[in-house]
Amino acid sequence: MIKAQNVYKSFNGGRIKVLNGVSLEIARGDFAVILGASGSGKSTLMSVLSGLERADSGTVCFDGMEISGFNDKQLTEFRRKYTGFIFQQYYLLSHLSVENNVRLGADLAGNKDFREIIKAVGLEEKCKRKPSELSGGEQQRVCIARALAKKPQALFLDEPTGALDEQTGRDVLDYIVKLKREQGFTMIMVTHNENIAQMADTVIRINSGRIEEVIKNTSPKTAYEIGW
Amino acid sequence: MVVSIKDSVKLAGISVICFCAVFVCTFFINYCVDAAAVADSVTQEMSALYQGQLATAKFSCALSGGCLSLIAFVMLVFYIKLYIDGHGRQLGILKAMGYKNGEIALKFWVFGFGVLIGSALGCGAGYAAMPMIYSQMTVEGLTIPVKFHFWLPIAMIALPTLVFSALSCGYARFALGRDVGSMLKGEIKKSKALSDKKLSEQNKASKTEKPRAFLLDMGIKTLSSKKMLVFFIAFASFCFSAMVQMGGSMYDLNAAAMGPIILAIGLVLAVTVMMIAMTAVFNSNTKNLAIMKAFGYSARECAVTIFTGYIPFAFIGFGVGTAYQYAILRVMIDLFFKEYSLIFDFDVAIFFITLAAFTVFYAAVMLFYFLKIKQISIKAVMAEN
């Protein structure tokens, strides 16, 4: 599904080297966690794998397409068709209602059933509210609905529970994994939380822009079984 | 504290508007005073033209000075509001620590600094242009010498600076009157929570109503969330239309030297106000645009969604500007120069040239922001948090 080979990425004209020859492979339908400390390059790796950014060198392939060679227009088209995002900071459109935030994703996929998704995340009664009128957990559920409404083949999550309390964080993770099982999309999550990594099928440990190890987890835990 | 001289430097738009207002007022007020000093020498034959020139100077001074001061004030209020919204957390911390609203508001006096710079430059430029203006506003047989009046630069520089500093503090005091909690949370303004009954009604309605497409809704909400920007864009278009056409018409009215001045002021005002307004639209939507791009919306779709709604208002502003400049020149000729056989008709050629130039200008501004949207990345927005 996703294959990266010898990927390099740096910033500030090459002065800050973030990714130093990353190679990895993520299978279709996999739940992969990219685990690393702050500054290890995990978020940059996610950006490169998801087509938010281009690598300086190396190749990134998604379903056989070499997205690392795509221009801006092609990357836009790629993200439009294949990816969904959930961020730690939510990035909801503050002046739009829950419903219209979800439509941001739904309209791209021509998905007319977006109200079903709002219902599925338990926000049917709050679909006319603005994000500022929701709790952190509810806002993150809007993000989930927004991402899933575009029916992505790969869902990228950047510390999705970083701003949530334990109970809400567990509920959100449990909910995302449940949806993944139902819909079969590939999930790539970036986190520094070792406990969350226990839920994944594959754990990719990154340090100083290099892959340290890739662990296949034969018995992933549920969100309520892991420590916090 | 939170507000510094550096922040006031960002008020370049207000400086430009103050420059234009003070520039026009300086030479016209000086002219009025100097003309009044030689009133005893005005003969019966000279009287009509003398009165006409004096009335033109007073009328232009009051109109441009008054309008531009009002616009500068509106812009100042808008900027202070944006500043307080953007620095809500820092200001909220000060309030939480026990600073009174008045104490914090007093620091906003520095916003008068932009006015000081604009007024000082405008006053200097006004004095530089004075000989040329006097040579245009002649009365046959009468010599109106250019004299320096020490109180004029004081009034033109100190007065606006003091007034605008006071207004800045006053408005800041008003705008800071929000609860600390909402400021610390970084909320832009208190959003009124809907009652359960109203929400229930809305939800019922939403199940039957045809939902509006995301891009359409986004465009409408962007437009309605900052109505002041609609006004600024319409005003910029108004300035372009009115002053470029008026500048062109001056050639027909034997006031050729006034033409380039009016035209230059119009273009400077239009470009400044338009860029400030468009930059505010862009800046207030950067995060939204970044997330839209991350999800796969193209830069073109983003630009069209955010900026298209302003186009009708820009052309309405242009239309009003066209009518305004014709009406002003018509009134001035009919009231002040009725004894002179000045021929003045609506200039269709100038209108179409100005319209074409405005369309090119507006398209160039759109292209500039389209290119800026292309450069937005979600990574940059994430790094800011």
Domain assignments of chain A as residue spans, ordered by start: 2-216
Domain assignments of chain B as residue spans, ordered by start: 1-187, 212-385
**Residue of chain A whose alpha carbon sits nearest to that of B296:** A80
Interface residue ranges in chain A relative to chain B, Cβ cutoff 8 Å? 43-44, 47, 52-53, 72-73, 76-81, 83-85, 87, 89, 91, 93-96, 99-100, 103-108, 115, 124-130, 132-133, 146, 150, 158
Q: What angle do helix axes B88-97 and B44-86 make, rounded to 10 degrees?
A: 70
Q: Chain B closest CA to A46's CA: distance in Å? A: 11
Report the 10 Å Cβ neighbour count for A47. 25
Chain centre distance of CA B99: 33
**Residues β-bridged to residue A187:** A31, A155
Mean pLDDT taken over chain B: 84
Condensed to tens digits (0 to 9), the pLDDT of residues A155-169 reads: 999 988 887 788 888
- Structure tokens of B306? 């955010």
Percent above pLDDT 70 for chain A: 100
Whether the CB-CB separation of B46 and B35 falls below 8 Å is answered with no
The reply to whether CATH 3.40.50.300 applies to domain A2-216 is yes
Q: Residue A190: how many CA atoms within 13 Å on its side-chain side? A: 24
Contact B203 A127 (CB under 8 A): yes
Measured between beta carbons, the chain B residues lying within 8 angstroms of A76 are: 293, 296-299
Whether the CB-CB separation of A208 and A36 falls below 8 Å is answered with no
- Structure tokens of B145? 């010498």
- Structure tokens of B152? 């004029």
Whether the CB-CB separation of A70 and A64 falls below 8 Å is answered with no
Show Cβ contacts of residue A52 under 8 Å, excluding neighbours closer than 6 positions.
Answer: A46, A79, B294, B377, B378, B379
Contact B206 A79 (CB under 8 A): no
Q: Chain B closest CA to A219's CA: distance in Å? A: 32
CA distance A17 to A180: 34
Contact A107 B294 (CB under 8 A): no
> Minimal CA–CA distance to B318: which of B222, B229, B245?
B245
- B372 in contact with chain A, both atoms CB, cutoff 8 A: no
What is the reported pLDDT for B385?
Answer: 54
Contact B288 A106 (CB under 8 A): no
- Structure tokens of B348? 């269709």
Q: What angle do helix axes B311-336 and B227-252 make, rounded to 10 degrees?
A: 40
Interface predicted TM-score (ipTM): 0.79
Q: Chain A closest CA to B313's CA: distance in Å? A: 22
Percent above pLDDT 90 for chain B: 33
Measured between beta carbons, the chain A residues lying within 8 angstroms of B296 are: 76-81, 83, 108, 150
Stretch B238-264: mean pLDDT, rounded?
78
Confidence of residue A12 (pLDDT cuts 50, 70, 90): confident
CA distance B290 to A224: 34
Q: Say yes or no to pLDDT of B322 above 90.
A: yes
Confidence of residue B170 (pLDDT cuts 50, 70, 90): very high
Q: In what order do the strands lie in the sheet with A2-11?
A: A16-26, A2-11, A57-62, A65-66
CA distance A198 to A220: 6
Which range has the top average pLDDT, B4-18, B76-90, B203-217, B230-244?
B230-244
Question: At A98, which helix (H) or strand (E)?
Answer: helix A98-109
Show Cβ contacts of residue A207 under 8 Å, excluding neighbours closer than 6 positions.
Answer: A36, A37, A40
Confidence of residue A34 (pLDDT cuts 50, 70, 90): very high
Q: Chain B closest CA to A45's CA: distance in Å? A: 12
Condensed to tens digits (0 to 9), the pLDDT of residues A195-226 reads: 999 999 999 999 999 999 999 988 888 888 88
Mean pLDDT taken over chain A: 89
- B374 in contact with chain A, both atoms CB, cutoff 8 A: yes
Report the 10 Å Cβ neighbour count for B113. 22
- What are φ and ψ of residue B176, in 5° steps? -80, -5
Show Cβ contacts of residue B97 under 8 Å, excluding neighbours closer than 6 positions.
Answer: none
Q: Chain B closest CA to A116's CA: distance in Å? A: 11
What distances in angstroms separate CA B6 from CA B33, B78, B108, B124, one per listed residue?
A: 38, 18, 12, 24
CA distance A197 to A189: 9
Higher-scoring residue by pLDDT: B150, B85: B150
What distances in angstroms separate CA B332 from CA A59, A110, B168, B205, B253, one per listed residue?
A: 71, 59, 35, 56, 11
What is the reported pLDDT for B190?
Answer: 44
| B309 Ramachandran zone, left/alpha/beta (phi>0; psi -120 to 50) | alpha
Q: In what order do the strands lie in the sheet with A83-87?
A: A83-87, A154-158, A186-191, A31-35, A202-207, A210-216
SS3 A20: strand
Q: Say yes or no to pLDDT of B100 above 60.
A: yes
Contact B294 A99 (CB under 8 A): no
**Residues β-bridged to residue A26:** A2
